[in-house]
Structure 1
Amino acid sequence: MSVAQEASTIPAPRTPAVRKKGSNLEKWGWIYMRASGVLLVVLIFGHLFVNLMTGEGIHQIDFAFVAGKLASPFWQWWDVLMLWLALIHGANGMRTIVNDYVTTPSVRRVLVWAIGLSAAFLILLGTLVVFTFDPCLGVTESSSLWEICQA
């Protein structure tokens, strides 16, 4: 083989590691990204349509509108499903980027754990906000919500 041919050939790819028995988490992560992406498109466009296209459009969005939506179990579950899917989808994407570009195993491990813990914390916090939301919490007689909250 001449020097010119050696320079123009593509080196052989790395030999793939032998896969252990058991579930293939990378495959399931890949499938999750596709399925959650499709579901998120439906959930997000449904959310945007209801909030921006129905009723008075963007002019209807205020505290009372959000309180009314979060009073309905349907919208609570819609928003929680959107929250969970989006956070897990994003965390899985960040995990993939870290696995692809961080070469030091200990740094990779710390970053993947940080991503997982932050996603878990935000999922927990967001779920608590959606299901425990009370628009009358802390309302006093001087508030514009006083009459509504007394009913």
Structure 2
Amino acid sequence: MTAIADPKAPRPPRARPSRLTTRGNTELYGWVFMRASGVVLLVLIFGHLFVNLWAGDGVKAIDFGFVAGKWADPIWQVWDLLMLWLAMIHGTNGVRTIINDYAERDGTRLVLKSLLYLAFLVTVVLGTLVIFTFNPCPDAAPDLLPSFCTAR
């Protein structure tokens, strides 16, 4: 039979973190960033949903042509870029906090955070490239182009 330790019994003191593991104000800045970016993300996301779903013809109107027309306007490129970057930084910071809270071994924490930062970097770089290099009318055979592209 296994004995369960008394939850009210005093615990042995924890070792103080070394100077290398002390985070200083980084956690405070992360906490403040999460609150501020959450508010900005709400505005960006609901603006995105309003334009894409309610202002137009609803979800049935969202297709390649809709996105191409939207990204032809620099305002929507910047809007979507801000939404991508803030969402990725916000989410990465949240997962980083979870890893710090639950990964007990330093090696595990290092591997998980390295994978997290790599996923962040790949997603942000590819997303940014797609937003700014998107060309709905490339040089191709006219029968392969969308209907809104004029023949060259």
TM-score category, normalised to shorter length:
0.7 to 0.9
Query: TM-score of the superposition, structure 1-length normalised?
Result: 0.83
Shift of 1:144: 5.1
Which consecutive residues of structure 1, in runs of 5 or more, have no partner in the other structure? 1-6
CA contact (8 A) 1:99 1:108 kept: yes
CA distance in 1, matches of 2:50, 2:9: 50
Which consecutive residues of structure 2, in runs of 5 or more, have no partner in the other structure? 1-5
Partner AA of 1:60 in structure 2? A
Change (3 A) 1:11 1:68: farther
Change (3 A) 1:74 1:57: same
Shift of 1:11: 4.1
Shift of 1:117: 1.6
Give the structure 2 partner of residue 111 of structure 1.
Answer: 112
Tell me how large the CA RMSD over aligned residues is: 2.6
Matched, 1:32 2:33: yes
CA distance in 1, matches of 2:10, 2:61: 60
1:66-123, Cα deviation, whole Å (9 max, x unpaired): 0001111000000000000011111111111111111110110111111112101110
CA contact (8 A) 1:136 1:145 kept: yes
Change (3 A) 1:10 1:136: farther
CA distance in 2, matches of 1:149, 1:30: 50
CA distance in 2, matches of 1:150, 1:10: 80
- Structure richer in helix, relative to its length: 1
Aligned residues: 146
Change (3 A) 1:90 1:8: closer
Give the structure 1 partner of residue 80 of structure 2.
Answer: 79
Shift of 1:139: 3.6
Give the structure 1 partner of residue 8 of structure 2.
Answer: 9
Partner AA of 1:36 in structure 2? S
Partner AA of 1:89 in structure 2? H
CA contact (8 A) 1:76 1:131 kept: yes
CA contact (8 A) 2:44 2:79 kept: yes
Amino-acid identity (%): 50
Change (3 A) 1:105 1:17: closer
